[in-house]
Structure 1
Amino acid sequence: MTSSFSSRLLGASVLALSFALTAQAQDRSDEDVIIVTGQKIDRDLQDVNASVAVFTGDVLDQNNVLSVADALELVAGVNTTQEGRGYSIRGANVTFTQTVDAGLVNNAPLSSIYVDGVILPPFQTQGGPTRAWDVEQIEVFRGPQSTVLGRNTLSGAIVVKTKDPSQETEGAARVEFAEYGRRQYAAALGGGLTDTLSARLSVEYFEEDGDITNPFLNIDNQDFVEALSLRGKLLYEAPNAPFTAKLTLNYVESEEGFGGVYDADNRFGVPDPDPFLREGWNNTPVFDDRETKQAILELNYELNDQWSVTSLTGYSDAELFGQKDGDNGPILFEDAFRDRREKTWSQELRFNLESDRLTGVTGAFLFTSDFELENFGELGDIFLTRDGNPGLGIPSAEAAIYSNPALGLPSAVVPLLNSATPEAIEIQFGDMNTYVNDNYALFADFDYRVADQWTLSLGGRLDYQAYDYERFGAFGRLKASDVQSYLTDLEGALSSIPGFPAAAVPQVLGAVEQNYIGAISSALLPRLGSTADQSADGNDTVFLPKAGLTYDFNPNASLAFTVQRGYRTGGISFQASTGIMFPYDPEFTWNYETALRTSWLDNRLIVNANAYYIDWKDQQVGFQEDLSDPFSGKTVNAGESTVLGAEVEIIARPTDNLNLAASIGYNDTEFDEFNTGNNDFSGNPFALAPKWTGSIRGSYDFDNGLFVSGNGIFVDDRFQFERATNRLDSYVVVNARVGYRTDQFTIAGFVNNLFDEEYLTQNRSTIFSTVGNPQSFGASLSVNW
């Protein structure tokens, strides 16, 4: 721990202490108590030392939140990218470096989403069961949750709790219409089936055309979204025993287009490079088609007044089929198809204790994941033009054949033969990848009140992960139909030349295959990497300790200090441009965090703050080694990194009609030591890591049923890449909503991006950029019974 950090942390603690000591002791009001469940213990928000933003069902409704991505927009310390398809927490980006596509094949993102206690596969963060319809609460944890949640929570976790069945018959329905073809149809119905069995069924269909056109493909819905979400729940409550059983079934089918546009740095000279024209220029339709099936069985039994036991079993089968355009531009460079499938199974058995002085949880966790990826693609005319490519060692057809003195063809026939040369002979390539991960863990996290005002927190996780990666069936070949078509056309052209000897035709065709087609194969196929079968495996066993101390100044103010270790397993990185597998090490963080919790005015005002310092070792960074080679992506370990920051959350209810909340986050990231051999990124900030983020939201309910609500977010400038290049400007977005509410229905109108702010969420330069959503108006109708 550096002296600079110590002094900053001491200063933050003294400042927090001075505020805490001014808090007056009051009796807590239950009306405004927020219960946090994501750490597997039901706790009052004021008793949770982790930095967490909580969105109850009312808050989700007031802010017209339709998905987890919408909620993340409103969290300080979190930055969403690519229109919600990715995000970063405290500067740790989980957008690109989480799948085989990016050269990171441990299938382990830095943060994960949990739905009803079960982790989602990484590529289901968008298009999986992450809609906010019929959701009771969303909790966004900033900072490591490795002790209790474990796998893939080094930077944080998003915990979603959906609504449970009850014996009371109830239902809800909602429709929404907005600009850019946005439509939502949703309904939920639940109630008792017997005295001991209740059920709930919810369904949502959502679609939008998007705001990006594609002049090349002549379509106006390049970034379309269409999703069908189904959820069924059964709850059994034993009549004569403290036992419950809950079965949850989720099914989601979704498809989405490509949100990329071109800007001034594009390579292909499109007519107008302004990204805010919202034009894409890919010549191949780009989409992801996902299907997720998930089952969760939760069993709860109260052993006595203090102990309870929970069994949580989860199974998911998620598949994604996608098509992409390798250059995202109007040339035939690469068309690629990917078919991913991941089956996961998890089993957790935990024991919860709640007594006067000791509370906590301990248990065991088992997890297995079987991930498959099949790639197939075609490389087109960016390399294989009839004029050849001297830089790649490919001669032109004329130099190789038609003007080749060794063949002695008459010069008069060269133009005719040139006309028979195809514009391109494409290369086909592909492979199969499998990744199997097994994870076993024992964990414990307890709070012990050692004195009236002092609480000691101790926890730890013993975690074992084993992974096995295989790549097989790799191939690279010239597209047979292109070759055959070319030879057939050439044979026809030779046969049509008056006086050309028929016996010479096979000789010329043979020369073509040897001197031209063979030259293409020799020059390009090795660039696709090795076609040999490859495999690698590894395992990690780690202990992740946690310790903390909390001082309660009074029932409404506390100050805590926590030290804990975060972790993400190592893995194998496959670099397509070289065909080489690169193993990389696990990454670890030591997190030092101070938490201030205060409540005021009979709990109508909550002011919470967290200040943190993160010491990061062997940080896994996925980067493109050669910016001119899209196949050069791989994962490496940065030597050392540090993060210093703070978050402040304010929740206020000045009157029964007015609700307010605000948050601000400061996050300073730096690669202290990051030398890849060819590049030295030391001193640079993390990619997509703004220093300042903030949000504010509020709602007011008039006594006559009218209401108004709104929110605003601020995101500071940041860089797209770890090279500290491709800067993205800061932006402010404001949303507003007004309507009328009764006990039975709500009708509302809204405007998103009220001031029509133009901003980029990605700036990938020569590849593509993504723009934030434009101003749009809409209306919704909700019914409850």
Structure 2
Amino acid sequence: MTLNKTAIAVLTALPFFSLAAEPTSKNNAIETIEVKGELLPTPESKAANSLQVLTQESLEQSGASHLQDALQQLGNVNFAAGASRARFIQIRGIGERSQFVDPINPSVGMAIDGIDYSGIGTAAGLFDIGQVEVYKGPQGSSVGANAMAGFINMYSTQPQENAANRFRVEAGNYGLFNVGIAAGTEFNSDVQGRFSLNQLTSDGFVENKTLNKDDTNDINELSFRGLLDVEFNNEVTSQFVLHYFDIDNGYDAFSLDQDRTTLSDEPGEDKQETLALGVNTTYTGFENTDLTVMLSHSDSDLAYGYDEDWTFVGIHEDGYSSTDNYMRDRVANQADIRFVSKDKSWVAGVYFQSKDVDLTREYTWLSNNFVSNYEQTNAAIYGEKRYALTNDINISAGLRIENHDGDYSDSNLVNESTSDTMIGGHLTATKQYDENTMVYTRLSRGFKSGGANGEALSKLNEPGLERYYNLLRENGSFDPEVLNNVELGMRYNNTDRGVKASAVVFYSSRHDMQIKQWFTNEAEVRELGEQPEFVGYVSNTPNGANYGVETNIQYQLNQNVSVFAGVSLLSTEIDDMYRLETDPETWEDVRVNINGREQAHAPSYQYQLGFNWQVADRITWNTSINGRDEYYYSFSHDEKSQAINLVNMSVTYQGDNFDVTLWGRNLGDKDYGVRGFYFGNDPRDGWVAKSYEQLGEPSVFGLKLDVLF
């Protein structure tokens, strides 16, 4: 899709059209939110950044239990499944879509209570999450290499917020059962705490005909989050964080018949067990500055695997049987030390992170298990300065210099080291037209480090892949990617009128784009009867562009009805990219130029439209429609998803000490893909290459009871 000037002008002006409406009440205040993902304290209405905040109330209305359930509410945000949960997220068309052998440096970072969960978002459950902040565009100053495309910042309900204690029980179709408790207390005037414990189970949306089971793609997730705030004296305060996640999900999602029935005889799994500790300490005893020290440690055991043939033994005389399993042990440590001026006008800090990831791959066609180790060390210095140029014009500038050192080794005697020093930051100008209206211009730069293609290197001497030797050797490693971004934005927040609106126009230029590509030995399978090989690797292509518009508005029509809407447009391009394809007639490998094609997982439009209606004194009705355009699944083929429009609804009854919510998502029961591949995997039709999709959730509904105490 190409954005024309008229469309940009209309959508940028969308929020202003609603501002002329006469308010029906002067008491329609919209909640003031302070965001925590900026380096300096910032109200959402003053954030010179493309940002959407999901409050606890909005998450509860949709029945969302995991971050993936809420992503449909966000403009220019998409996700790829390929596992039990959508742990891979794309913002403005940029982001990874899977992980198999090789370590990845995510384009979209994620933190929960200040602890890094980038790339392992299965843990992103939403029970007792107080706020989700989604930053769009490079966050090169505040986050660095894990946020070239954007950043998702999740915070538990805080102890000092005096939130109600809550016991929840929830049931729904497809075997959904959810039980949880969240409670806080003040031990004394200096010590406050809050914890949440949640168990979520579901059978999933797949029926396995081979095993005669309906829970091979099930959800089984236990989560615990605890916070303890301690004021040691007038100058020292700390927050201690404890997380424990035990996730034991099934993975049986792809069907040869392109429906919700599978034929696997060895269904896969998607597991995560994480123990994480963190402490955030602030010292205010210096005369001109405050010192904040943030430390965290996390240890995660991850297991992901699947039935590669998707079938049972004996389905066809040409069939094969194979499983592929990946077990990772991920240990991460981070330290962030920063000084903040008393007037909150500047910040300067240093950051350190180390990750040690051990992988064991159990694969049918390997004579021995494949083992690899990846050690990564990041070190950065960063800072930001905000300056009032006049009473209504402010300038801010941020800079981050970050070094990544990576050491990769594996059981195939592959050793590869990388070292990248990268620079990111932003220069931003804001003008406050009046107490309600702020406009800004932001120039920003983000980056992500390079790395090693261990899978490609490990296949150099693989039988049946001899003719791919040069391709694999040339793609043994890849370079860093840089994203330069310019955006013009507006925020309007009028509590008297009950109006909150934002609009952003952006243009991002990608340099040395990191592209995940795949090839399979189709010719050898057909001509020589070799076993199928699917080899993935990351390469760099010279340039790409991502540009578009993002708008959002909330408006309180009267004391009982509020409406909300958001429209986002996105146009993406690839410059001078080639991929390897097999000619279906000659079975020769050919290089195909896809210059100018749209990027993967980048729908050209997304929208949300809905309302909240206080039907009676205790009854609230919420309805929303979410939609997005079709998009390419990958760079290695041209298969697309479907355009979708999803209807969601909830009705809540608020009692004196309890809430009851009846909710439903995808009420039209639309089938739509959330991950897609293109290859031959069905022996019944002679291994003809075709598109295979993992389907998103069908029509789901549930009844939720919250007892408040």
Classify the TM-score, shorter chain: 0.7 to 0.9
TM-score using structure 2 length: 0.86
Give yes or no for contact 1:144–1:154 (8 Å, CA) kept in 2.
yes
- Residues of 2 paired with 1:133 and 1:667: CA distance? 32
1:70 match? 69
In the alignment, which of 175, 181, 199 is matched to residue 181 of structure 1? 175
Secondary structure, aligned partner of 2:301? strand
Go from structure 1 to structure 2 and tell me whether the alpha carbon gap of 1:703 and 1:20 turns closer, same or farther (over 3 Å shift).
Answer: closer
Shift of 1:118: 2.0
Residue 55 of structure 2: aligned partner: 56
Verify the 8 A CA contact 2:146 2:448 in the aligned structure 1.
yes
The equivalent of 1:619 in structure 2 is 513
RMSD: 2.9
Which one is further off, 704-713 or 362-371?
Answer: 704-713
The match for 2:421 among 526, 541, 554 is: 541
- Distance across 2 between alignment mates of 1:465 and 1:556: 42
Q: Secondary structure at the match of 2:165?
A: strand
Q: Residue 731 of structure 1 corresponds to which residue in structure 2?
A: 644
Q: How far is the alpha carbon of 1:783 from its aligned partner?
A: 1.1
Map of 1:80 onto structure 2: 79
Aligned position for 1:433: 372
Aligned partners of 1:457 and 1:697: how far apart in 2? 35
Report the Cα offset of residue 597 of structure 1.
1.4
**Residue equivalent to 1:344:** 332
In 2, Cα distance between the equivalents of 1:749 and 1:770? 28
Question: Residue 204 of structure 2 is aligned with which of 200, 210, 214?
Answer: 210
2:360 counterpart residue number: 374
Please show how residues 618-657 of structure 1 align to structure 2 within 5 Å: 618-626=512-520, 628=522, 630-657=533-560
Q: Could you tell me how far 1:13 is from its partner in structure 2?
A: 12
Q: Which residue is equivalent to 1:246? A: 239
What is the rounded CA distance, in whole Å, between the counterparts of 1:737 and 1:10 in structure 2?
32
Aligned to 2:598: 685
CA distance in structure 2 between the aligned counterparts of 1:67 and 1:776, rounded to whole angstroms: 14
Q: 2:703 — aligned with what?
A: 779
Offset of residue 11 of structure 1: 7.9
Match of 2:383 in 1: 444
1:17 Cα deviation (Å)? 12
Letter in 2 for 1:673: D
Contact 1:23 1:598 in 2 (8 A): no
Give CA-to-partner distance per residue, 1:192-232, whole Å, 9 cap, x none.
Answer: 22332222221000000011011122221121010111122
Does the Cα contact within 8 Å between 1:311 and 1:348 map onto a contact in 2?
Answer: yes
Q: State the AA in 1 paired with 2:347.
A: V
The equivalent residue for 1:606 is 500
Q: Does 1:156 align with 2:69?
A: no
- 1:685 CA drift (Å): 1.1
Query: Counterpart of 1:72 in 2: which secondary structure?
Result: helix
Q: Which has the larger radius of gyration?
A: 1
What SS does the corresponding residue of 1:327 show, helix, strand or coil?
coil
Work out whether residues 12 and 611 of structure 1, in 8 Å CA contact, stay in contact via their aligned partners in 2: no
Q: Is the 8 A contact 2:15 2:503 kept in 1?
A: no
Q: Distance in 2 between matches of 1:18 and 1:251?
A: 42
What's the secondary structure of 2:592's corresponding residue?
A: coil
Are 2:596 and 1:716 aligned? no
Report the Cα distance in structure 1 between the residues aligned to 2:552 and 2:564, rounded to whole angstroms.
7
Q: d(CA) in 2 for partners of 1:159 and 1:776?
A: 27
Contact 1:184/1:206, CA 8 A, preserved across alignment? yes
**Amino acid across the alignment from 1:544:** G
1:438 offset after TM fit, Å? 0.5
**1:299 maps to which of 278, 281, 289:** 281
Q: Structure 1's 554 and 724: CA in aligned 2 closer, same or farther, altered over 3 A?
A: farther
Match in the other structure for 1:317: 299
1:137 and 2:131 aligned: yes
Give the secondary structure class of the aligned counterpart of 2:60: helix
Among 113, 121, 124, the residue aligned to 1:125: 121
Measured in 2, the distance between the counterparts of 1:706 and 1:301 equals: 46
Distance, in Å, in 2 between the alignment partners of 1:211 and 1:19 is 42
Normalising to structure 1: TM-score of the pair? 0.78
Structure 1 residue 287 displacement after superposition = 0.7
Indicate the residue corresponding to 2:452 in structure 1: 572
Residues 9, 778 of structure 1: alpha-carbon distance in 2 compared, 3 angstrom cutoff: closer
SS of alignment partner, residue 59 of structure 2: helix
Q: Distance in 1 between matches of 2:192 and 2:694?
A: 45
More strand by share: 2
**Distance in structure 1 (CA, Å) of the matches to 2:495 and 2:162:** 35
Distance 1:167 1:614, change over 3 A: closer
The corresponding residue for 1:364 is 350
8 Å CA contact 2:12–2:549 kept in 1: the answer is: no
Which of the numbers 431, 440, 452 marks the counterpart of 1:560?
Answer: 440
CA distance 1:354–1:72, change in 2 (3 Å): farther
The 1-side partners of 2:12 and 2:622 are apart by 33
Higher helix share: 1
- Is the 2:28–2:495 contact (alpha carbons within 8 Å) kept by the matching residues of 1? no
* TM-superposed deviation, 1:177: 0.2
Q: Does 1:664 pair with 2:567?
A: yes
8 A Cα contact 1:709 1:737, kept in partner: yes
Query: Which residue of 2 is the match for residue 226 of structure 1?
Result: 220
**What letter is aligned with 1:248?**
V
Once the 2 structures are TM-superposed, how far is the Cα of residue 100 of structure 1 from its aligned partner?
4.6
Aligned to 1:461: 400
Residue 259 (structure 1) shift: 4.7
Secondary structure of the structure 2 residue equivalent to 1:145: coil
Q: 1:345-392, CA deviations, whole angstroms, 9 ceiling, x for partnerless residues? A: 00001122363xx7243211110000110112213xxxxxxxxxxxxx
Residue 620 of structure 1 deviates from its aligned partner by 0.6
Contiguous gaps of at least 5 residues in structure 1: 267-272, 380-426, 473-530
Q: CA deviation at 1:429?
A: 3.6
Q: Decide whether the 8 Å contact of 1:198 with 1:234 is kept in 2.
A: yes
TM-fit CA distance, 1:669: 0.8
Q: Where in structure 2 are the equivalents of 1:520-535 lying within 5 Å?
A: 531=412, 533-535=413-415
Q: 1:185 offset after TM fit, Å?
A: 0.2
TM-aligned CA deviation for residue 430 of structure 1: 2.3
5+ residue gaps, structure 2: 313-318, 462-471, 523-531, 581-590, 682-691
Question: Distance in 2 between the 1:179 and 1:669 partners?
Answer: 38
Q: Go from structure 1 to structure 2 and tell me whether the alpha carbon gap of 1:16 and 1:458 turns closer, same or farther (over 3 Å shift).
A: farther
Contact 1:20/1:598 (CA < 8 Å) preserved in 2? no
Is the 1:624–1:630 contact (alpha carbons within 8 Å) kept by the matching residues of 2?
no
Residues 4-38 of structure 1 show CA distances to partners (whole Å, capped at 9, x for unaligned) of 99x969986997699599999x9999752222111
Offset at residue 89 of structure 1 (A): 1.0
Q: State the 1:625 CA deviation.
A: 2.8
1:146 Cα deviation after fit: 1.8
Give the fraction of aligned pairs with identical amino acids, expressed as a percent.
22
Q: Contact (CA 8 Å) 2:28, 2:559: kept in 1 or not?
A: no
1:748-759 correspondence to structure 2 within 5 Å: 748-759=661-672
Do 2:521 and 2:534's aligned partners in 1 also have CA atoms closer than 8 Å?
no
Report how many aligned residue pairs link the two structures: 652
